[in-house]
Structure 1
Amino acid sequence: MKYIGKPRGLAALLSDIEINSSPSLHFQGVENIDISLIRVNPNQPRKDFKDAQLIELAESIRIQGLIQPITVRVKGTHYELIVGERRLRACKLARLSKIPAFIRHADDEASALMALVENIQRENLNAIEIALSFERMIIEYRLTNEELAARIGKDRSTVNNYLRLLKLPSEIQKKIISGKISMGHARALIALEKPELQINMLQKILKEGLSVRQVEEMAKTLPKKNSIKSSEIQKSSLQEYINSTVKSLEGNLISNVEFKTENGESGKVIIEFFNQLDLERIMVHLDKVFKKSADKL
C-alpha cells in the first residue's frame, strides 16, 4: 500500500479548533494498522454514503494506494475511527488488510469536534447532517451555540441557521438531504413559519424550479405564524422592551418565544420546542445563562 503526499486539510482543521479548549488532544505519527481492529464511530456526522462513489474510490485505491490516511484513536483493545469512514469503507471493498492511519490520543469531545470540522471543511455533509451534529455537540457537551461556533471556527449565526433547519417539517428535511432544494431555499422556507405554508411553497419550488430569490420574494407576501397588525402593538416603552427581549431570546434560543399578560400584571413566557432533543438544547443554553447571571451577583 502506498502513502503519497502530506495530509491535506489537517492544518486547517487544527487551526479552527481551539487546542486549549481540548486539552485531551495529542498527536502521534502515521502507522499501517489492521483494518479488522478499527471500529466505526457511532457518532460519525456523515450518514449518507453513495455506493457508486465508494466503488470508484475502491478501484482508485487498488491502483494507486490510499493517498490520505484516515484518523483514529486508541480505544481499549481496538481503534475507533475519527475521520475517514468513506476511505475505510473503500479500503474494505478493495480487500486491503491494512490501512495508513494518523493515531490521535483524543477524548470524546475532541474526537467529535475533529470529525465534525473535517467533514464540514471537505463539504462531505449535507445541511441536515451538519445541523444534527451541531445539536448533538450542544447537548452532549453542554455547549452554548456561541461556544460551539468558537470551537469549529464559525460565526454563531451560521450555527443558528443550521439548527433552524431541524424545525422544518420532515418532508422538507428529506429534500435538503437528497439535494432537491438548497440551504438558501430552506432558509427562505423557515421565514414562513407555518408548516402548511412551508410545504405548499416546497411543492412550488419543486414544480416550478423557483430560485432562492423568487422564494424570498413570495414569502414576503404570505402571512407569518405570529404576525400582528401594527395598530395592535402598544408603543409604550415597556412593550418595546418586552418586544426587544422576546426577539433577543428567540435569536439566542433559536425558538419561538411568546410573552402573555393576563391581567396587566401577571403573565407567562412560552418557549416553543420541537422535540425532546430540542428541549434539552434549550435547557443547556438557559442553564448557562442563569449561571453567568449568578456569577455577576
Structure 2
Amino acid sequence: MEIQEIKVKDCIAFKDNPFKIRETLDMELLVESIAENGVLIPIVVRKAKSNQYEVISGQRRIYACQKAGIESIPAIVEELSRDESIIMLVDANLHREGLLPSEKGFAYKMKLDALKHQGKASAQLGPKMTSVQYIANSSSDSKTQVQRYIRLTHLIKPLLDMVDEGRIALTPAVEVSYLTKEEQYDLVDAIAREEHTPSLSQAMRLKALSKDGILDYQAIYEIIKETKGNQIEYLKVPTERIRNYFKPNTTYRQMEDVILKALSFYTHYKAKHRDDKDSR
C-alpha cells in the first residue's frame, strides 16, 4: 500500500457524496490539529480526469487542510470502480457521530444501489440474504431501520430538513414519504400555517388517504390542525433573533440544547450571586 503526497488543490469531492461538512467544534479542533501536526492518517482517493483525485475517504481532512493553509496531503490512490468507491465511502463515514437522518438515508441508498449493480450481496451470502440485510449486518442499524432511513430519500427537501432538525420524528417521516410530491408540498404549507408537524397516527392517516387517491389540501390541513394527544406548549422565538449566536448549519435541535444549557448556567450563576450577596 503506497502512500504518496498529492496537492490539496487537485482533490475534488466525490460526486453525490451524502455526508456534509459542518462548521462544528470538532471541525475547529481538526483544523487546529492539522495546522500543528499535519495530516497523520492518509486519505483515500481515486484518479479522476485532468490529473485530479476524487476523494473517497477524507473530505473533512481536505477541508481542514484548506482552512489551515496546508497545500499537500498524504494519500492512498486506489484503482476502484464507482460502485466500489461508494461502498468504501459509506463504510468509512457511517461510524461518525452526529450524522443527520438525511445523510444516513442517502448513504444507505447509494450503497444499496452499488451492491445491486455488483450483485455482491447475493454472490457472497447466498440467495436468502437481501442487499438491505447485508447492509444492516455491517452497520449499527437493524434491517428495518436501514429501510426506514432509505425511505427518507423520497421526501422533498423542506420535509427532509424538518427531519434533520428534529421537528419530525423518523417513523412519521417514513409514513409521509409515501405521499406524492404535490401532497408533500401541501403538507409543508399546512405545517407552516399550524406551526406543528404530524404525529405518527396523523402521518398514517395521511398515507392511507393518499393510497386511496382522496388526499387533497383540505384533508391534509384538517388533519394537521388537530391537536395531538401529546401536544406540548412551545415558546416561539424567531430564528433571525438568535441565529447570529450560532455557527452556520446549526440545527434547531442543537440550538435548543445550547439555549437550555445557557439558561441552566444563568440560573446557577444568579443563585450563586444571590447567596454571595446574602452572606456579606
Task: Report the 3-state secondary structure (helix = DSSP H, G, I; strand = E; otherwise coil) of the residue aligned with 2:94.
Answer: helix
Which has more strand, going by share of residues? 1
Kindly tell me: are residues 148 and 63 of structure 1, through their superposed partners in 2, closer, same or farther at Cα, counting changes over 3 Å? Answer: same
Kindly tell me: are residues 80 and 190 of structure 1, through their superposed partners in 2, closer, same or farther at Cα, counting changes over 3 Å? Answer: closer
Kindly tell me: are residues 201 and 106 of structure 1, through their superposed partners in 2, closer, same or farther at Cα, counting changes over 3 Å? Answer: same
Task: Report the 3-state secondary structure (helix = DSSP H, G, I; strand = E; otherwise coil) of the residue aligned with 1:121.
Answer: coil
Q: Give 1:223 deviation, angstroms.
A: 8.1
Match of 2:150 among 142, 158, 163: 163
Aligned ranges 1:122-271 → 2 under 5 Å: 122-123=96-97, 125-139=99-113, 142-143=116-117, 146-151=130-135, 153-154=138-139, 155-177=142-164, 179-181=165-167, 185-191=169-175, 195=183, 199=188, 215-216=199-200, 224-225=208-209, 226=211
8 Å contact kept, 2:148–2:174: no
Q: Residue 55 of structure 2 corresponds to which residue in structure 1?
A: 81
Kindly tell me: are residues 75 and 148 of structure 1, through their superposed partners in 2, closer, same or farther at Cα, counting changes over 3 Å? Answer: farther
Residue 73 (structure 2) pairs with residue 99 (structure 1): yes
Kindly tell me: are residues 62 and 223 of structure 1, through their superposed partners in 2, closer, same or farther at Cα, counting changes over 3 Å? Answer: closer
8 Å contact kept, 1:189–1:198: no
Percent of matched pairs sharing the same residue: 19
**Alignment TM-score, normalising by the size of structure 2:** 0.53
8 Å contact kept, 1:45–1:119: no
Task: Report the 3-state secondary structure (helix = DSSP H, G, I; strand = E; otherwise coil) of the residue aligned with 2:35.
Answer: helix
Q: Give 1:126 deviation, angstroms.
A: 1.9
8 Å contact kept, 1:191–1:224: no
CA distance in 2, matches of 1:138, 1:130: 12
Q: Give 1:202 deviation, angstroms.
A: 5.7
Q: Residue 248 of structure 2 corresponds to which residue in structure 1?
A: none
CA distance in 1, matches of 2:46, 2:60: 17
Q: Give 1:161 deviation, angstroms.
A: 0.8
Kindly tell me: are residues 35 and 169 of structure 1, through their superposed partners in 2, closer, same or farther at Cα, counting changes over 3 Å? Answer: closer
CA distance in 1, matches of 2:203, 2:150: 20
Q: Give 1:157 deviation, angstroms.
A: 2.2
Q: What is the identity, as a one-letter code, of the residue corresponding to 2:171?
A: R
Q: What is the identity, as a one-letter code, of the residue corresponding to 2:172?
A: A
Unpaired runs of 5+ in structure 2?
A: 122-129, 213-280
CA distance in 2, matches of 1:203, 1:186: 19
8 Å contact kept, 2:47–2:77: yes
Deviation by residue 1:207-258 (Cα, 9 ceiling, x = unmatched): 67x9xxx93466678883248xxxxxxxxxxxxxxxxxxxxxxxxxxxxxxx
Q: Residue 72 of structure 1 corresponds to which residue in structure 2?
A: 45
Task: Report the 3-state secondary structure (helix = DSSP H, G, I; strand = E; otherwise coil) of the residue aligned with 2:15.
Answer: coil
CA distance in 1, matches of 2:73, 2:146: 34
CA distance in 2, matches of 1:98, 1:69: 11
Kindly tell me: are residues 150 and 141 of structure 1, through their superposed partners in 2, closer, same or farther at Cα, counting changes over 3 Å? Answer: closer
8 Å contact kept, 2:108–2:150: yes
Q: Number of residue pairs matched?
A: 192
**Alignment TM-score, normalising by the size of structure 1:** 0.51
Task: Report the 3-state secondary structure (helix = DSSP H, G, I; strand = E; otherwise coil) of the residue aligned with 2:44.
Answer: strand
Deviation by residue 1:12-50 (Cα, 9 ceiling, x = unmatched): xxxxxxxxxxxxxxxx2433333233232123221x322
Q: Give 1:127 deviation, angstroms.
A: 1.6
Which protein has greater RCO, CA pairs closer than 8 Å, 6+ apart?
1
Residue 64 (structure 2) pairs with residue 90 (structure 1): yes
Unpaired runs of 5+ in structure 1?
A: 1-27, 228-297
CA distance in 2, matches of 1:79, 1:124: 27
Q: Residue 114 of structure 1 corresponds to which residue in structure 2?
A: 88
Match of 1:50 among 19, 22, 25: 22
Deviation by residue 1:251-292 (Cα, 9 ceiling, x = unmatched): xxxxxxxxxxxxxxxxxxxxxxxxxxxxxxxxxxxxxxxxxx
CA distance in 2, matches of 1:97, 1:148: 40
8 Å contact kept, 2:94–2:104: yes
